[in-house]
Homo-oligomer: A and B are copies of this chain.
Amino acid sequence: MTNLETWAVIMAGGSGTRFWPASRKKHPKQFLRVAGSKTLIQEAAARLGDLIPPERRLVVAGHEHVALVRKQLPKIPPENILAEPTGRNTAPCVAWAAVEIARRSPRSVQVVLPSDSVIRPAAEFRKLLRAAIEEASTSSALVTFGVQPTFPATGYGYIEIGDEVSKHAKIPVHAVKRFVEKPDRARAEQFLATGRYLWNSGMFVWTTSAILAALREHAPTVLAPLERCRTSAEAVAIYPTIPSVAIDVAVMEKARDVRVVPFGISWSDVGAWPALPDVLPADPEGNVTGGGALLVAEDSRRNVVHAPKGELVALVGVSDLVVVRAGKAILVCPKDRAQDVKKIVDRLSREDPGWV
């Protein structure tokens, strides 16, 4: 394996409300037990196993969530938590982490991961990670993971893969031909038919020097202000002035040498309540229960239930519903209307913001 020091960057800046009422502004999805007994960020950290020890894991999170990070990931040293004063999308997050790691360990390779996806089994994931680390360490390429699509999703970007460029422990690495923004349904179906497109998972592996060089070349307005800072406090102060842009757009789509490790194991970004069956086991009637609650169902099928441990949810004669209890709020909606939960959240934000 690589003789570079391996670091992880866990990006925990998300603040969506698609898991309302469980997710709130002060308590976003990555801090929830959506997919089991661990919160998503705890699962993201645990997934690294002993490949990267806690003292070499950085977490980038909104400043209002730092206390949650410290509580849920107590082994992460406090100086490894970078507190964004305001969300600026992924490029500033990647750049800040890269500058920080460069200062501590210039000859290093980094694994950059979202905090809110579910990947299983973890041991298989680490094999893929090792291959990507090997690939990044022995080249100056930016390496990404591309998830084998299982349906013509319109909610993800795609990666068109090129030729196989190498192999590590039987895991192939391909050149990336191009990144494609979220397609419409017809294009997504075409992509699937070719067998040459993977979902862009938002997971990356690169050496610290490679990502700094790429940022310097393609996103100097993002990197330069951060490189000039001598302390974290200075970075926090100038952070809100950095352009808000995604790393895919700022760097990945422009970089010359991008490679992809196809990802054949189970992956889900758990985008909203109806995705729970992707990451949790169902009962024989297809009902899925998260959060630890007891479900008692009578003539009820394919429902998604989430409520805390010690609570009981009784369903009689209902199908394809989302039923969530969190805090002092309950949500009931059909799975195919889950996107409209946003309307409730918007209304409450205006009229009764304590509930959001």
Contacts and interface: CB of A to CB of B under 8 A. Distances in A.
Given A312-B21, A331-B314, A296 B344 contact: yes
A340 B314 CA distance: 11
Contacts of A338: 316
A328 interface: yes
A50 interface: no
Nearest to A323: B332
Interface in A265-320: 294, 296, 298-299, 307, 310-318
B348 A296 contact: yes
B330 A316 contact: no
A307 to B, nearest CB: 7
A340 B296 CA distance: 13
B311 A340 contact: no
A323 B330 contact: yes
A334 B21 CA distance: 22
B316 A347 contact: no
Given A312-B21, A314-B344, A316-B343, A332 B337 contact: no
Nearest to A318: B332
23 contacts: A21-B314, A296-B344, A296-B348, A298-B343, A298-B344, A298-B347, A311-B328, A311-B329, A312-B330, A314-B329, A314-B330, A314-B333, A314-B344, A316-B333, A316-B341, A316-B344, A317-B334, A317-B337, A317-B340, A318-B321, A318-B333, A318-B334, A332-B332
Given A313-B329, A316-B341, 17 more contacts: A21-B312, A294-B352, A296-B344, A296-B348, A310-B328, A312-B329, A312-B355, A314-B331, A314-B332, A315-B331, A315-B332, A316-B331, A316-B344, A317-B333, A317-B340, A318-B334, A330-B330
